């Protein structure tokens, strides 16, 4: 847990036929990251994909909304990828031919449904059917026409022989015109030029004026119901064709090909074979090999050294420690030979949080919030140990929902001994900083740099400890110049020689590092300051609640505690993050690694674990 692990380079040789199956297995294991190192003589993998997706995209744009959902899972068939691509396209072409008539019917019914809904809006706006009994085809002396024009359409100038009445619509206006057939023909031409939409009354309305006037919406509702039934029938015919041709399964395979296309830059092929390379979690290598064997694919898996490049790093933490990876990931990933600070952070962050937020009741609320929301919002899991430590320090401070008259303090009341609270926080920070220096020394041991680390840091650490000890025994301040002598004596350049430049650099690093350690130590006193601020705010709320008394006082107490939990919880979290990142991590954490990004399925489950779609 304390040390980040490096991944290992791997290489898989398989056949072109088994390419997709092998890629599926690798994605299911979640144990590999692909990275290509091109070799001479390799060929592009599946060059047919570009032409395939060009035709597929055109079909999808035109017919995609009539396709069924793709299958939930799919297992690769023992079939040549190029042959399967052509078969998919052929099936889609057949589907278009067989489903075409039903699609045309469905589109017609969709258009009609839109018209009927617009007519319904017109009836509601006009309070009935304007001129509903007049013919629409100009067979009589008078004719009528109904149009919908959008809001941005220019004003319409009707021929002099027409009567045009407007009614408001959601996104424009309805225009109902009545007049002689000759003038109506001219009007229709103008409306066509403006791209206005003509609406046609259903027969049940146009043929029965009396019925339409008596119940103007009944005929439209009947027409809508009949149209919806016909549209469903057309959709059912499309679905029958889709099932017969196995379109859902084909679309799942298309999604798999799309995923392969995204990753083919990391694949290298010849006429018959395929080379897959990248990085693998060494602890999962046997499981990956077993999964490939279980899939029945022809593969050869070999592990190599990391000379192919900088190996991605892995953090090996149990589930309870995963939320604390948030802190190092803010800066980056530990490199080879670096410590993973998640475990140490899990010890110091809740301790600081509890010290600043010492209250049994408020800690219990934070604990409950963390337990409730950690699955949906993983970061809230940090509130679980934080809430527990807040309850522990609440017992030590004798505070329950801001009141100090319910439980006796097992240690002290912060406002009564502020110097002790600040001093303990300062001591806490010193211990944390020394722990960070110790981790830096451990990293030096891991990487074989202990000798150079001692040269560079022994004098600085002696001076730092001397300054701290001088508060108790002033004579120990002589450790500061002694530390300077050791720092200069250990000055070495890149070749291991003591030079004037190395001495000057060592002197500068001595002064800068000593000052940073001292300033960082003082920075941790803010932990005590926030503990006092929390106690002060709690006392103020209790004072207001006692002054109000009764039910009002209880409301003040409840609202005050809610304010403390919300406001100080946020502020305390920010301060802990700052102290951990910029005071503690800077002692040892360089974040020189890169994160491992395992191969995965981004938007679809192609796994055969949940059933074989074939």
C-alpha to C-alpha distance for 185 and 182, rounded to whole angstroms: 5
Question: Does residue 144 lie in a domain region?
Answer: yes
Domain finish residue from 186, 201, 233: 233
Do 219 and 358 have their domain in common?
A: no
End-to-end CA distance of the chain: 43
Range 23-31 average pLDDT: 91
Segment 241-266, tens digit of pLDDT:
999 999 998 998 898 889 888 888 88
Helix, strand, coil percentages for the chain (3-state, nearest 5): 60, 10, 25
Domain endpoint, select from 202, 233, 264 = 233
Segment 199-227 mean pLDDT: 71
pLDDT at 38: 67
> How large a percentage of the chain has pLDDT more than 90?
56
- 554 band by pLDDT with thresholds 50, 70 and 90: very high
Whether the per-residue pLDDT at 73 is higher than 80: the answer is: no
At 134 the pLDDT is 54
- Output the six-digit token pair for 237: 């015919």
CB 171 within 8 A of CB 150: yes
CA-to-CA separations, 101 to 227, 241, 251, 468, in angstroms, rounded: 17, 11, 22, 88
454 within domain boundaries:
yes
d(CA 261, CA 194): 45
Q: How many other CB atoms sit within 10 Å of the CB of residue 233?
A: 13
This prediction's pTM = 0.74
**Residue 368: what pLDDT?**
96
Consecutive H or E run containing 300: strand 299-304
**Interior CA angle at 590 toward 266 and 374, to 5°?**
75
121/311 Cα distance (integer angstroms): 65
Considering only CA atoms, which of 285, 305, 269, 280 is closest in space to residue 13? 269
Asked if residue 219 and residue 335 are part of one domain, the reply reads: no
Query: What does the block give as tokens for 179?
Result: 């007049």
In a domain, 365, yes or no: yes
The pLDDT of residue 544: 94
pLDDT tens, position by position, 399-434: 999 999 999 999 999 999 999 999 999 999 999 999
H-state helical runs in 281-417: 285-294, 326-331, 342-356, 360-373, 383-397
Check whether residue 195 and residue 325 sit in a common domain. Answer: no
- Residue 66 has what pLDDT? 94
pLDDT value of residue 212: 55
- CA dist 613 and 4 (Å) reads 40
Residue 322 makes CB contacts below 8 A (sequence gap 6+) with: 378, 381
Question: Treating both helix axes as pointing N-terminal to C-terminal, what angle do 342-356 and 569-579 enclose, rounded to 10 degrees?
Answer: 140
Of the candidates 325, 339, 388, which has an alpha carbon nearest to the alpha carbon of residue 360? 388
Residues 229 and 324 occupy one common structural domain: no
Tokens of 180: 């002689």
Q: Are residues 215 and 330 in the same domain?
A: no
pLDDT (tens digit per residue) in 283-339: 999 999 999 999 888 899 998 765 567 899 999 899 899 999 999 999 999 998 899
Model pLDDT, residue 19:
86
Contact (Cβ atoms closer than 8 angstroms) between residue 336 and residue 443? no
447 and 578, same domain (yes or no):
yes
Give a yes or no: residue 251 inside a domain: no
Residue 77 lies in a domain: no
Boundary-marking domain end, from 184, 200, 233: 233
**pLDDT band for position 133 (cuts 50, 70, 90):** low
Task: Check whether 211 has a pLDDT greater than 60.
Answer: no
Q: What would the DSSP string read from start to end of 75-125? A: ---SS-HHHHHHHHHHHHHHHHHHHHHHHHHHHHHHHHHHHHHHHHHHHHH
Looking at residue 210, which CATH number applies to its domain? 3.30.70.2750
CB-based contacts of 108: which residues, under 8 Å, 6+ apart? none
Q: What is the mean pLDDT of the chain?
A: 87
Q: Are 585 and 328 in contact (CB under 8 A)?
A: yes
Cβ atoms of residues 394 and 364 within 8 Å: no
User: Are 210 and 113 a contacting pair, CB within 8 Å?
Assistant: no
348, two tokens? 């110091």
Domain count, the chain: 2
Q: Is residue 73 part of a domain?
A: no
Write down the pLDDT at residue 304: 77
Least confident of 130-144, 194-208, 295-309, 504-518: 130-144
- The boundaries of the domain holding residue 224 are 107-233
213 with 329, same domain?
Answer: no
Q: What is the pLDDT of residue 609?
A: 39
Q: Which of 232-236, 304-308, 524-528 has the lowest mean pLDDT?
A: 304-308
Regarding beta strands 163-169 and 172-180, do their DSSP bridges make them parallel or antiparallel, or are they unpaired? antiparallel
DSSP 8-state code for residue 161: T
Q: With 80 as the cut, is the pLDDT of residue 207 above it?
A: no
Write the burial class of residue 474 (CB in 10 Å: 0-12 exposed, 13-18 middle, 19+ buried): exposed
pLDDT score at 204 = 55
Model confidence at 205, pLDDT cuts 50, 70, 90, reads low
Q: Residue 613's pLDDT band (boundaries 50, 70, 90)?
A: very low
* pLDDT of 279 strictly over 50: yes
Task: Assess contact for 158 and 243: CB atoms under 8 A.
Answer: no
Low-confidence winner among 125-129, 139-143, 345-349, 504-508 (lowest mean pLDDT) = 139-143
Q: Are residues 424 and 556 in the same domain?
A: yes
* Token pair of 310 as six digits: 């900088």
208 neighbors 133 (Cβ within 8 angstroms): no
Regarding whether 348 and 205 lie in a shared domain, the answer is no
Q: pLDDT value at position 336?
A: 87
Query: What pLDDT does 456 receive?
Result: 86
Does position 375 have pLDDT exceeding 60, yes or no?
A: yes
Rounded CA separation 611/614 (Å): 9
Which range among 46-50, 99-103, 279-283, 415-419 shows the weakest confidence by mean pLDDT?
46-50
pLDDT surpassing 70 at residue 610: no
Q: Do 370 and 223 fall into the same domain?
A: no
Q: Residue 37: inside a domain, yes or no?
A: no
Q: Is residue 545 part of a domain?
A: yes
Is pLDDT at 602 greater than 90 in this prediction?
A: no
Check pLDDT > 90 for residue 169: no
Q: What percent of the chain clears pLDDT 70, i.e. is strictly above it?
A: 91
Q: How far apart are CA 439 and CA 422, in angstroms?
A: 26
3 state SS for 522-568? HHCHHHHHHHHHHHHHHHHHHHHHHHHCHHHHHHHHHHHHHHHHHHH
Specify whether 530 is located in the same domain as 409: yes
Q: Between 13 and 611, whose confidence is greater?
A: 13
């Amino acid at each position: 847990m304390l040390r980040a692990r490096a991944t290992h380079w791997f290489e898989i040789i398989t056949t072109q036929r088994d390419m997709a199956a092998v890629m599926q297995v690798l994605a299911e294991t979640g144990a590999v990251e692909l990275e290509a190192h091109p070799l001479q003589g390799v060929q592009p993998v599946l060059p047919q994909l570009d032409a395939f997706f060009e035709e597929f995209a055109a079909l999808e744009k035109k017919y995609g909304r009539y396709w069924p959902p793709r299958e939930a899972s799919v297992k690769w068939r023992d079939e040549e990828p190029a042959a399967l691509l052509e078969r998919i396209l052929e099936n889609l072409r057949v589907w278009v031919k067989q489903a075409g008539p039903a699609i045309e019917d469905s589109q017609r019914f969709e258009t009609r449904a839109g018209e009927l809904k617009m007519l319904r809006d017109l009836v509601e706006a006009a309070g009935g059917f304007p001129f509903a009994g007049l013919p629409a085809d100009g067979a009589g002396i008078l004719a009528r026409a109904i149009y919908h024009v959008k809001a941005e359409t220019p004003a319409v100038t009707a021929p002099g022989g027409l009567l045009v009445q407007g009614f408001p619509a959601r996104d424009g206006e309805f225009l109902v015109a009545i007049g002689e057939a000759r003038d109506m023909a001219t009007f229709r031409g103008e409306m066509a030029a403006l791209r206005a939409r003509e609406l046609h009354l259903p027969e049940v309305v146009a043929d029965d004026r009396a019925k339409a006037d008596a119940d103007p919406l009944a005929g439209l509702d009947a027409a809508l119901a009949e149209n919806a039934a016909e549209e469903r029938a057309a959709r059912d015919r499309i679905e029958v064709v889709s099932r017969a041709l196995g379109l859902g399964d084909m679309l799942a395979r298309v999604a798999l090909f799309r995923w392969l296309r995204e990753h083919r830059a990391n694949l290298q092929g010849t006429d018959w074979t395929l080379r897959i390379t990248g990085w693998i979690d060494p602890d999962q290598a046997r499981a990956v090999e077993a999964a490939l064997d279980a899939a029945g694919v022809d593969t050869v898996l070999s592990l190599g050294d990391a000379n192919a490049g900088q190996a991605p790093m892995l953090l090996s933490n149990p589930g309870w420690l995963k939320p604390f990876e948030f802190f190092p990931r803010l800066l980056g990933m530990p490199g080879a030979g670096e410590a993973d600070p998640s475990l140490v952070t899990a010890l110091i962050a809740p301790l600081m949080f509890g010290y600043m937020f010492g209250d049994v009741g408020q800690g219990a609320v934070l604990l409950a919030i963390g337990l409730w929301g950690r699955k949906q919002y993983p970061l809230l899991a940090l509130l679980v140990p934080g809430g527990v430590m807040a309850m522990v320090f609440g017992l030590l401070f004798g505070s329950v929902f801001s009141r100090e008259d319910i439980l006796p303090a097992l240690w002290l009341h912060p406002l009564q001994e502020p110097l002790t609270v600040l001093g303990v926080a300062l001591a806490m920070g010193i211990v944390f900083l020394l722990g960070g220096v110790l981790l830096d020394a451990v990293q030096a041991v891991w990487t074989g740099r202990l000798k150079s680390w001692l040269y560079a840091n022994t004098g600085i650490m002696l001076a730092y400890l001397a300054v701290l000890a001088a508060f108790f025994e002033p004579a120990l301040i002589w450790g500061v110049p002694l530390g300077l002598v050791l720092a200069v004596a250990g000055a070495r350049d890149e070749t291991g020689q003591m030079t004037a430049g190395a001495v000057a650099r060592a002197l500068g690093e001595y002064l800068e590092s000593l000052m940073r350690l001292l300033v960082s130590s003082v920075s941790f006193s803010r932990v005590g300051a926030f503990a006092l601020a929390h106690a002060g705010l709690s006392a103020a709320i209790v004072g207001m609640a006692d002054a109000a008394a009764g039910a009002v006082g209880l409301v003040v107490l409840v609202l005050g505690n809610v304010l403390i939990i919300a406001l100080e919880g946020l502020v305390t979290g920010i301060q802990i993050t700052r102290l951990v990142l910029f005071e503690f991590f800077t002692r040892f954490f360089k974040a020189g690694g890169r994160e491992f990004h395992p191969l995965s399925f981004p938007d679809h489950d192609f796994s055969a674990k949940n059933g074989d779609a074939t």
